[in-house]
Structure 1
């Protein structure tokens, strides 16, 4: 993997900032490449536990899984709290970009689903448990093992 240098060095953020952005962001965009050579970027819900990124999808189906079957290399991007400042022709934001590999997991499936439920419905643990049981058998979980993470901020 080529390690490109960030052009706007004053916006480069440290690893702790990148991790905070990953923890706070509501959704991310997963980018993959398919056997036809075309890239595919899809927004999705995710959970980050400080080590890996987890996301769910329908069991053994869809464009995302077809691409991941072809290549496990991914790029995952999140933007936290973007605010357009029209009079300055700029946007305030924090963003994190992760490069890594994604693989389907059975070992961490329940753990990941519980992380997702806790993130998106923290005040509704019973509903989260019910949904996990209801959809467990028709859901796949992927985990992204992080190779490189970078962050950029314009506050």
Structure 2
């Protein structure tokens, strides 16, 4: 049976996980990409290289993040967090959250690794999705 998650269950799923799909609008069309993230109870923090998703979020800051926990075909939980994109420019805040992200996800993505090796330091963009609403469903048999 499929039922709604309560607020506490949805928040716990966001806290417990670190892999999600980020949704935004790019060139007038939905655009969804996998991301690693940190959640502090108010915002979701993500780092990225410049590219399509950053350009899209700068044009239209509305975004969502979807997180799943799937144990079996009929045993799953899914949360969608809706919010607004906010680039983190403050150096102290950037340093803190980048450190937390690297502590949790110590390996660079293959694209980042290649760029660092071939071109030296790269511009890493740190941003938050400031959460405005969280919804979730679960199915358990």
1:21 is aligned, of 13, 24, 28, to 13
Judged with a 3 Å threshold, the aligned counterparts in structure 2 of structure 1 residues 136 and 144 are, in CA distance, closer, same or farther, namely farther
1:41 is aligned, of 27, 32, 46, to 32
Partner of 1:69: 58
1:31 is aligned, of 13, 23, 29, to 23
1:40 CA displacement: 0.4
Partner of 1:111: 96
1:137 CA displacement: 6.0
Q: Deviations over 1:110-153 (max 9, x none)?
A: 121122133335xxxxxxxxxxxx99862110101111001212
1:50 is aligned, of 37, 41, 50, to 41
The CA RMSD over aligned residues, in Å, is: 2.4
Which structure has the larger Rg over C-alpha atoms?
A: 1
Partner of 1:98: 81
Distance 1:154 1:93 in 2: 5
SS in 1 for 2:28: coil
With a CA cutoff of 8 Å and minimum separation of 6, indicate the structure with the bigger relative contact order.
Answer: 2
Distance 1:152 1:116 in 2: 27
TM-score of the superposition, structure 2-length normalised?
A: 0.80
Q: Deviations over 1:33-81 (max 9, x none)?
A: 02x31110000100001111000001xx21101101210000110002x
Judged with a 3 Å threshold, the aligned counterparts in structure 2 of structure 1 residues 38 and 12 are, in CA distance, closer, same or farther, namely same
Query: Unaligned 5+ residue runs, structure 2?
Result: 107-115
Distance 1:17 1:38 in 2: 31
SS in 2 for 1:96: strand
TM-score of the superposition, structure 1-length normalised?
A: 0.73
